Chain A
Amino acid sequence: MSLIAIIDDDPDIIDASSLVLKAKGHDVITANNPNDGYSIVKYKKPDLIILDVMMDEPDDGFYLAQKFRKEGITTPILMYTSVSKAIGLDFGKSEMVPVDDFVEKPISPEELINKVDALLNIKEVN
C-alpha cells in the first residue's frame, strides 16, 4: 500500500485517476493547483506524485517538479502530458525536466497502473 498524490486542475482527471489507483489498493490525496499540490507533498509525504504539466499556466507542473527537486524532495514523479508532444516539446528527452516518467492523456487504467507500479518498485529497491 502506498500514498499517491495527484496534482491536476481537471477534477474529472483527478477522479478517474483516483478511482483506478484506489481499486489497486493505494491511498490517494489530491490537489487541483500547484500551490495546494506543493503543500500536500510537503506535509503528507506521499510515495509517488502524479503531476499535470499544464495547470493555471502552460508549464507550471514542470516548475513545481523543479521546485520539489531543488528542495531535496526525491519522491518519484509521474508527469501527465497532453499536447506537449504534439506541439514539439519532447520532455522525455530533456534532462531539464526532473521527472521519472510520463503518461500521455487520455489515461488508460492499465498503463497508469503499470507505470505507477514500476516507479514504486524502484523506490522500494532503493
Chain B
Amino acid sequence: MLTGAPLDTDVAIETPEHIVFRHRLAGPSRRFLAFLLDLVICYTAFSILAFVVLLVAIGAAAATNAAEGAIGAGVGVLLVVLFGLQWVYFAVLEAWKGRTPGKAALGLRVVTTTGRPIGFRAAALRNVLRAADALPLAYTAGLLSLAGLVSMSTTRRFQRLGDLVAGTIVVIPERASVAAPLILFPPAQPFELAQLPDDVRLDADERLAIEMFLRRRARLGRARELELAHMIATPLAERFGFRAQDPSRTLALLYDRAANAGRVDAPPSSRTPGSWR
C-alpha cells in the first residue's frame, strides 16, 4: 500500500521517540470474517474431539460394562472444552500472540490504543464483553451483532464495546518490503539530458503522484498510460520548459532528475489541508 496522505482509516501512534507511525484499522467486515474463521476452527476441532472422546467412552463402556459412567465422564470433559472455546480461547490467544488463528489468517492484530501488545487483563475484558457486543440479536451464538456493529460504526477507530472498555484496537499491521527504487529505462539519452533542466523541484504531492503513476504504468495500456500522463505532464512541461517525445517519458525524466540529483529541498505539500476530503 502506498500511503501518501493519511487515510481516515489509519490511526497515528506516537512513540516515546516522537516518531509517528500509522496503523491501518481493520473494519467490521474483515473482523467478522476473522471471527467466522475462528468459529469454524473451534467447532471443527470440537467435533473431532467429541468424536474421539465418544469413541473412547464407548470403547471403555464395552470393556468395563459401565456405560453410563464412561459416557458421562466424556460428556463432562466435552462441556468444559466447550466452555473454554466460548470464553477462554480468544482471550488466551490474544494475550499470548496478539491474535487468534482467524485474525492471523486475515492479517489482523489486537493492540492497545497506544500501539502496544495487549496483556491478559485487556484480552479477557474485550472478550468477556463480546457478550454485550452480541446483544440483542445473536444472543447465544456470540456472533458480532447489533450493539457491536453500532459501536464499531460510530467510533472513530472501529472499536466494538469490548474494545472501548479494554482500550484496544484491531489493526492490519503491514510490512511493506523495500520496493526497488525506480530506475529510468531506457537511461536518459544525451539529447534528452541536453534539454532537461538541472533544477527540477517537485512538491511532495507531485512527486507521489508521478511515482505512483510510474510504478503502475507497465500495467496500463499504452493509450491509457499516455492519457493519464498527459494530464500532469502538460503543466509540468510548461513549468520546466521541457518536453520529451511523449508525456510518459517526460514524467519519467523529470522524476528521475528530481529524485536522484541530490536536491531534496522540495516545498511542503501544495495541497491545502482538508481540501480533498
The answer to whether A and B come from one shared complex is no
A interface residue numbers (CB < 8 A to B): none
B interface residue numbers (CB < 8 A to A): none
